[in-house]
Structure 1
């Protein structure tokens, strides 16, 4: 009888030790996961404070002052452009000399660029529009733009 009680006590001790070891392992694992979760939350908070783009493009814009002569200086602007190819970027324009926010045109994207083509019908032509882009993550970006052109 004493033998069976001793075996039972030893078994209970081993079982309790095993449970406490498992609890300690689980507690350590929970601490690691909590730390990882906090790190991911910090990353998400940082991303949500930035503009997030699907793609980036480069534009090289030659200066209107460039002349094709030997030994002349050739000047170009190199521009990095971020854009979203998921259809959530928009460029909208209204009619000529209109300043209201009723946009008659939403331009289509071609290779990451929105092309505005307007017939110049006056000596001074101005076009107003809005540029917007948004993504699943990050901030929404939008700004008003104006383009003015003289014609002779």
Structure 2
């Protein structure tokens, strides 16, 4: 099922041509994701003894919210285990270093994220495949030139 998900992600038409049932594979992915989200919600409700809508805002006042987690993955880089960890560490440390800017702190942070996405879209730590995909117009690395790629 994992290879089918990768095939659908990379090229759905080619995956369908190879005999992968796209509807079934997408339905399994949706059901698995919903099941894991439901399980996580029940565990959180059990641990906190309460469930309120304020806990699930996209951009809440407490740092570990959905926007923070999304920014950590984007900053660190998807596809690796260490990328989001580095991204979360930086997102935790950078606001403390930008406190001297006062009310422009979030603006500077947003500009930094935009510049990162413009010049390094794969994140701080990228897997080799994403790095080659995003920088295909750049100069060919020496290791690939030796391999004949």
- Quickly name the TM-score band, shorter chain normalised: under 0.3
Kindly name which structure, 1 or 2, has the bigger radius of gyration based on alpha carbons.
1
TM-score under structure 1 length normalisation = 0.21
Of Structure 1 and Structure 2, the greater strand share is in 1
More RCO (CA 8 Å, sep 6+): 1
Of Structure 1 and Structure 2, the greater helix share is in 2
